Amino acid sequence: MKVLIIGGDGYCGWATALHLSSKGYEVAILDSYVRRLWDLQLGVSTLTPIAQLEQRVDRWKGLSGKDIPVFVCDITQYEALISSLRRFPPDAIVHFGEQRSAPYSMISRDHAVMTQVNNVVGTLNILYALKEEFPDCHLVKLGTMGEYGTPNIDIEEGYITIEHNGRKDTLPYPKQPGSMYHLSKVHDSHNIHFACRVWGLRATDLNQGVVYGVLTDETGMDEVLINRLDYDGVFGTALNRFCIQAAVGHPLTVYGKGGQTRGFLDIRDTVRCVELAIAHPAEPGQFRVLNQFTEQFSVEQLALLVQKAAAAMGLKVEVNYLENPRVELEEHYFNAKNTKLLDLGLQPHYLSDSLLDSLLNFALKYKDRVDVKQILPRVKWKG
């Protein structure tokens, strides 16, 4: 079974490509390297010294015997996309190929427009390519739990059954995204839903929570296979960022009161969730939505867990409550469903002391690469 990983040079994409390759899928990677360009433009870099993609796949071939062809392509260019697909006709496409940082999308008008155009046009191009030439291909699209915002009712998986004035219907779950990036994912979801409804395409939208961790069975096999790990104020996400802050003795940066609650998951579960989605594809015409996280935490809870794990290793770290650069509720109800992937067979890796130990030790190993000037948030949602 041929699986094309779009954005396969990125954090989730690279881990997923190797995992699926090791599981016997015929994998190819399509990437434009623009994620590496953004690091250069922002003057930031991953904690880990990541190799170039060609080196990575060469080493993987040496270790596993498996080929991963690489297509260097920007999916906003339709002709380049369709010609790549013709050379590697996929049974499934895993689409990680979007600008994925909320702060990046909020830097300026240019960044907001670029994020929305890049993400929306890339996904539209994939949908048209599937409609025209690969109508049975299963699109597995990375969405985000952030599409839902923080409603005062339980968050269901993509749809909600509403009774209203004596009638009933099951409708797309209302969306209240919190950044120009999250908005782009909502736009994608509506576009993909339309393509399934009207053209009969099959798609799974994985509304993923915040991913943490760095090693998977495959990326841990060799330093050339090492995955990226972002800690900067633009691309770094909560738990990973906290562990790196602890390793360099920087106070943990909680935004506002820290009561913001979100869904989280280990990157080892990300790769497994994608595998489960591919192995159990959506039906033709179905727009399936799966909430992809394993546990809920508030940001403050995470900071305190990291502080405690660090203390056990002899590292003393403070927790700093910064003025929140975002506009978001800091105390709110949050209860999101996540049973569909469990029903497909996911066995979660829960956040544990041992995971925090290994993440902290990993961060300590590379701490000399940290540029502390990049840690604090510089992008404000307002003003």
Residues serving a catalytic function are 144, 181, 185
**Is 83 near its own copies (CB under 8 A)?**
no
* HEC string for 36-93: HHHHHHHCCCCCCCCCCHHHHHHHHHHHHCCCCCEEECCCCCHHHHHHHHHHCCCCEE
Angle, helices 238-247 vs 299-312, to 10°: value is 30
Instruction: Give the containing element (helix H, strand E) for 249.
Output: none
**Is 342 near its own copies (CB under 8 A)?**
no
CA pair distance 156, 171, nearest whole angstrom: 11
User: Site for its own copies (CB under 8 A): which residue of 167, 316, 347, 354?
Assistant: 167
CA pair distance 197, 214, nearest whole angstrom: 37
Q: Which two tokens stand for residue 85?
A: 């697909």
CA pair distance 129, 82, nearest whole angstrom: 6
Helices (H) and strands (E) in the chain, counts: 12, 14
> Residue 366, SS3?
coil
* Residue closer to its own copies, measured from CB, 155 or 225: 155
**Is 1 near its own copies (CB under 8 A)?**
no
**Is 380 near its own copies (CB under 8 A)?**
no
**Is 80 near its own copies (CB under 8 A)?**
no
Q: Which residues are within 8 A (CB) of 34 and not within 5 positions of it... i.e. 6 or more apart?
A: 74
* Residue closer to its own copies, measured from CB, 112 or 271: 112
- Interface mask toward its own copies for 20-59; x: CB under 8 A: ----------------------------------------
User: Site for its own copies (CB under 8 A): which residue of 176, 339, 352, 361?
Assistant: 176
User: Site for its own copies (CB under 8 A): which residue of 2, 23, 193, 367?
Assistant: 193
User: Site for its own copies (CB under 8 A): which residue of 191, 296, 320, 358?
Assistant: 191
Least separation in angstroms between CB 90 and its own copies: 19
Instruction: Give the containing element (helix H, strand E) for 353.
Output: helix 353-365
> Residue 2, SS3?
strand
Size of the site for its own copies (CB under 8 A): 47
Q: Which stretch binds its own copies (CB under 8 A): 25-33, 85-93, 184-192, 354-362?
A: 184-192
Residue 260 CB neighbours (<10 A): 23
Where does this chain bind its own copies (CB under 8 A)? 78, 109, 112-113, 116-117, 120-121, 124-125, 128, 151-154, 160, 162-165, 167-169, 171-180, 183, 186-187, 190-191, 193-194, 197-199, 327, 333, 381-382
